[in-house]
Amino acid sequence: MQNYKVIIQYDGTDYHGWQVQPNRVTIQGELTRILSQLDDRPVTVYGAGRTDAGVHAEGQVANFWLEHRFSSRELRDAMNGNLRRDIRILDALALDDAFNARTSAKLKNYRYRIWNADVGNPFLSRYVYQYRKRLDIDEMHEAAAALVGAHDFSAFTPAQSDAEDHFRTLQKLDLERDGEIVSITAAASGFLRYMVRTIAGTLIDVGRGRRSAKSVRLALESRMRSNAGPTAPACGLTLMRVDY
């Protein structure tokens, strides 16, 4: 048996997230289906992170064990030749058994993109959230600073979250404007469910003047989901890369 690592890009618009679900088309499900055909047996695929329905990836990572031996190019091309065109394998690499896409990960990098203009862009509409009114980036920066570091992020995940604890260390939370696009970049070793999208929704509320930068710190300290902002739409979120 050989352990393989793959780097995956996908447009998540037409998928019900990463994780296999009964009677649903998912990214993990599609990879499992193709690899099981290639190896003539059931194959289990392990992902670095579970992206939600509608979330995209430029650098998702997964690993799996195959009985058949492939070169990197053979495996990449065999998978791409059988996958739908909105999922692409960028690279495939044989590694030792110690590598696990999830537990070996050191840092996960996400980006939430907002199309901040009155008229939408048809070429980007699947990958950005459009907000028409001007956003105050300085206020959003101030609010973001309160979230960096080790905190209990209970206010930024559903109250019914099944995570054992809600403490996470947010190593980076940056904002920048490039023309009409406002990008929110977040990096941590791990995230709670909907955490990045809720942070984005909260910062958008600050940028539009609906809440103060100070209120974000108070929401964090309260540990109550009702005190944070809305969960931003999935279309704006992309898993950019996973560091090992």
- Residue 101 in any domain: the answer is no
* Domain extent at residue 14: 2-95
Do 118 and 219 share a domain, yes or no?
yes
Total domain count for the chain?
2
What count of other Cβ atoms lies within 10 Å of the Cβ of residue 98? 8
Predicted TM-score (pTM) of this structure: 0.94
Do 171 and 151 share a domain, yes or no?
yes
- Whether 219 and 167 have beta carbons less than 8 Å apart is answered as no
pLDDT at 125: 96
Summarize the confidence of residues 112-128 as an average pLDDT: 97
CATH number at residue 16: 3.30.70.580
> Which band of pLDDT confidence, cut at 50, 70 and 90, is reported for residue 160?
confident
Q: What is the mean pLDDT of the chain?
A: 96
Radius of gyration in angstroms for the set of CA atoms belonging to the chain, rounded to a whole number: 19
Quick one: DSSP state of residue 175?
E
Pick 244 or 162 by higher pLDDT: 244
Catalytic residue among 11, 40, 52, 152: 52
- In whole angstroms, what is the distance from residue 218 CA to residue 105 CA? 31
CATH number at residue 144: 3.30.70.660
Give the pair of three-digit tokens for residue 213.
């930068």
- Residue 189 in any domain: the answer is yes
Statement: residue 230 has pLDDT above 80: yes
- In whole angstroms, what is the distance from residue 106 CA to residue 241 CA? 11
Of how many residues is the chain composed? Answer: 244
Quick one: DSSP state of residue 110?
E
- In whole angstroms, what is the distance from residue 1 CA to residue 64 CA? 10
- In whole angstroms, what is the distance from residue 156 CA to residue 174 CA? 17
Last residue of a domain, one of 50, 66, 95: 95
Residue 87's SS3 state is strand
- Residue 100 in any domain: the answer is no
Do 120 and 91 share a domain, yes or no?
no
- In whole angstroms, what is the distance from residue 29 CA to residue 34 CA? 9
Do 118 and 221 share a domain, yes or no?
yes
- Residue 139 in any domain: the answer is yes
152 has catalytic annotation = no
Do 125 and 230 share a domain, yes or no?
yes
- Whether 190 and 110 have beta carbons less than 8 Å apart is answered as no
> What is the distance, to the nearest Å, from the Cα of residue 234 to the centroid of all Cα atoms in its chain?
9
pLDDT at 132: 96
Do 78 and 136 share a domain, yes or no?
no
Summarize the confidence of residues 166-176 as an average pLDDT: 96
Do 80 and 147 share a domain, yes or no?
no
Give the pair of three-digit tokens for residue 121.
């862009």
Q: The dihedral of CA 206, 232, 129, 85: what is its sign?
A: positive
Summarize the confidence of residues 113-123 as an average pLDDT: 96
